[in-house]
């Protein structure tokens, strides 16, 4: 029997046709729902491989357009509710456009899954690996395009309570995504067979099941100790809250600044009375001072008052004017007691959010929605990693959504950061967005073997240990001050050392799989009969 005849025989044996559309369409929608429920605030992480498996089954052996359509359905079912927080104060149009754009990447994934179906049929044991590399390739593209990409909703970010989280220390978020997708590929490879033909079915099923168990066991086997531990530091997070949630938090900027100053002064009183240890560092969130303290003496005086009272440097989330007219900068500004602002230790956000902090193609965007003019001044990006020497510790500062981008966080660690700090403002969103962001912080802590913290204006704030555990998490839309002792790290994990290369390698395998499927399809076309 020829190779082609053997392949045709296997295909006939387990059903040569794709799933009927009456099953494939619900499967695609359920795939998106399962993926959604894997993310915070739901946190049902085992459903992520289930969602991957359902989409793989729905798109298998379909034409490219059908595969793309099914992937798009799954994408809408995932991203529309996952990103619902984007419509709370800006209306439905930005939310709808962003959700549809993200769903388009899952459409590409659906088409790619359909394209490599001949490879999965010919080499059934390779199906999980094909699924894994295609997911990594899709995310690599989505994380970078357009306008620098939007990595929200990566499979890796659904695994903050999963045993697979520790794989981040070996290969970062791409390796965790790969592991989740491989697990989904194993599920579909086990399920996709003609169970009426009982003889011999247990062997491949047993092998694939053993592979799934090994995959789940691999994560906890990764060491999670503080790598290169170098002492401890006492850090206070000040969550001052805002008078009211919404886009007009900027109109309340004096009240927001006062909230953070007053909360710090109250902490200083407790320290003086002996009820609280004096922190070595105080962290205020993004937008804690939207009044430029370098140009407004009153704002600078208030921040200086807080720093002098607490007797420790404050990392202030501030908005500064310039460098040119009509421009502003989103910064982490170190304010030392006694001496004031340290301009040598200032981080300017490197990845402003398009259409929120700056408007690309403004004249064209205005034709879609006049809401773009709410962004009256464009934020300009910085050009240096957020390595801030606060004296007691060297900080790796990233601001808000930057925590989702692998390279921005990694640059701070390779630049010498001993502690990861995420300054964020969730006043325009909701608790779901805040918890999704905290899940990213947990992954980054494990990825780089660094203790980390997230400081938010309204919550959720909290501390994260190098093995991903959360301590001192605050509530949402409330004022809070939390003080913890944190371990400093100086070593590098394999993920930090490897950098982008695990993602490059897995994406290259995805491209090779697409090329291999093209060759196999071509051979089928020219085969006799």
* Crossing angle between the packed helical segments 64-82 and 92-115, to the nearest 10 degrees: 140
Placement of tokens 């798009």 in the chain: 72
Choosing from 286, 357, 433, 447, which is the catalytic residue? 286
Residue 403: name the closest of 416, 386, 415 by CA. Answer: 386
Structure tokens that stand for 362 in this block: 């403004």
Q: Has 525 been annotated as catalytic? A: no
Give the Cα separation of 332 and 400 in Å (integer): 11
What CA–CA distance (Å, rounded) separates 155 from 141? 14
Environment class of 407 (CB within 10 Å of its CB; exposed 0-12, middle 13-18, buried 19+): middle
Q: Percent helix, strand, coil in the chain (nearest 5)?
A: 55, 15, 30
Structure tokens at 464: 């994260």
CA atoms within 13 A on the CB side of 347: 33
Catalytic one among 139, 357, 400, 447? 400
Q: What distance in Å separates the CA atoms of residue 323 and residue 310, rounded to the nearest whole number?
A: 31
Q: Does residue 400 carry a catalytic annotation?
A: yes
How many CB atoms neighbour CB 82 within 10 A?
22
Q: Which residues contact 431 (CB under 8 A, 6 or more apart)?
A: 41, 459, 460, 476, 477
- Phi-psi bin for 15: left (phi > 0), alpha (psi -120 to 50), beta? left
Verify whether residue 301 is a known catalytic residue: no
Q: Is 487 helix (H, G, I), strand (E, B) or coil?
A: strand
211 CB-near residues (< 8 Å, 6+ apart): 128, 186
Which one of the listed residues 349, 402, 433, 503 is annotated catalytic?
349
Among candidates 138, 171, 207, 42, which has minimal Cα distance to 447?
Answer: 171
Beta bridge partners of 321: 328
**DSSP state letters, 114-183:** HHTHHHHHH-GGGHHHHHHHHHHHHHHHHTTTTTT---TT-GGGG-TTSGGGGGHHHHHHHHHHHHHHHH
List the one residue out of 75, 82, 89, 95 whose CA is nearest residue 439.
82
Active-site residue numbers? 286, 349, 400
């Amino acid at each position: 029997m020829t190779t082609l005849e053997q392949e045709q025989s296997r295909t006939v044996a387990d059903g040569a046709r794709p799933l009927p559309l009456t099953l494939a369409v619900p499967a695609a929608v359920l795939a998106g729902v399962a993926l959604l429920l894997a993310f915070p605030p739901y946190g049902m992480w085992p459903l992520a491989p289930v969602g991957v498996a359902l989409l793989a089954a729905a798109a298998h052996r379909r034409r490219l357009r059908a595969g793309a359509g099914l992937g798009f359905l799954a994408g809408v079912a995932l991203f529309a509710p996952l990103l619902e927080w984007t419509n709370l104060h800006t209306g439905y149009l930005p939310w709808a456009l962003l959700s549809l754009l993200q769903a388009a990447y899952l459409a590409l994934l659906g088409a790619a899954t359909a394209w490599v179906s001949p490879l999965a049929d010919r080499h059934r044991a390779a199906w999980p690996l094909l699924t894994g590399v295609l997911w990594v390739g899709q995310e690599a593209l989505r994380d970078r395009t357009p306008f620098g990409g939007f990595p929200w909703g990566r499979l890796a970010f659904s695994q903050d309570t999963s045993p697979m989280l520790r794989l981040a220390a070996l290969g970062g978020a791409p390796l965790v995504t790969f592991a989740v997708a491989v697990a989904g590929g194993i599920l579909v490879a086990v399920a996709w067979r003609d169970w009426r033909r009982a003889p011999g079915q247990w062997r491949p099923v047993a092998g694939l099941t053993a592979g799934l168990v090994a995959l789940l066991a691999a994560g906890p086997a990764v060491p999670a100790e503080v790598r290169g531990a170098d002492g401890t530091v006492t850090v206070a997070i000040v969550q001052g809250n805002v008078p009211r949630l919404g886009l007009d938090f900027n109109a309340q900027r004096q009240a927001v600044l006062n909230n953070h100053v007053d909360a710090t002064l109250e902490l200083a009183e407790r320290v003086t009375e002996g009820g609280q240890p004096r922190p070595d560092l105080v962290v205020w969130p993004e937008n804690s001072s939207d009044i430029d303290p370098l140009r407004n003496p009153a704002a600078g005086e208030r921040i200086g008052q807080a720093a002098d009272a607490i007797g420790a440097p404050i990392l202030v989330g501030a908005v500064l004017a310039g460098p040119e007219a009509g421009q502003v900068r989103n910064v982490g500004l170190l304010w030392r007691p006694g001496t004031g602002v340290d301009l040598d230790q200032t981080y300017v956000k490197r990845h402003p959010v398009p259409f929120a902090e700056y408007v690309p193609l403004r004249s064209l965007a205005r034709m879609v929605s006049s809401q773009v003019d709410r962004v009256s001044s464009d934020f300009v990006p910085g050009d240096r990693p957020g390595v801030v020497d606060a004296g007691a510790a060297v900080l790796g500062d990233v601001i808000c959504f930057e925590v989702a981008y692998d390279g921005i966080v990694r640059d701070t660690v390779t630049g010498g950061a001993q502690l990861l700090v995420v300054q964020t403002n969730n006043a325009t969103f909701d608790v779901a967005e805040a918890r999704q962001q905290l899940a990213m912080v947990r992954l980054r802590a494990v990825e780089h073997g660094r203790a980390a913290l997230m400081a938010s204006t309204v919550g959720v704030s909290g501390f994260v240990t190098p093995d991903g555990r959360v301590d001192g998490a605050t509530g949402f839309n409330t004022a809070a001050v939390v003080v913890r002792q944190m371990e400093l790290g100086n070593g590098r994990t394999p993920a930090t050392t490897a950098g982008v290369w695990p993602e490059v390698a897995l994406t290259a395998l995805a491209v090779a799989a697409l090329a291999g499927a093209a060759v196999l399809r071509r051979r089928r076309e020219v085969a006799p009969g």
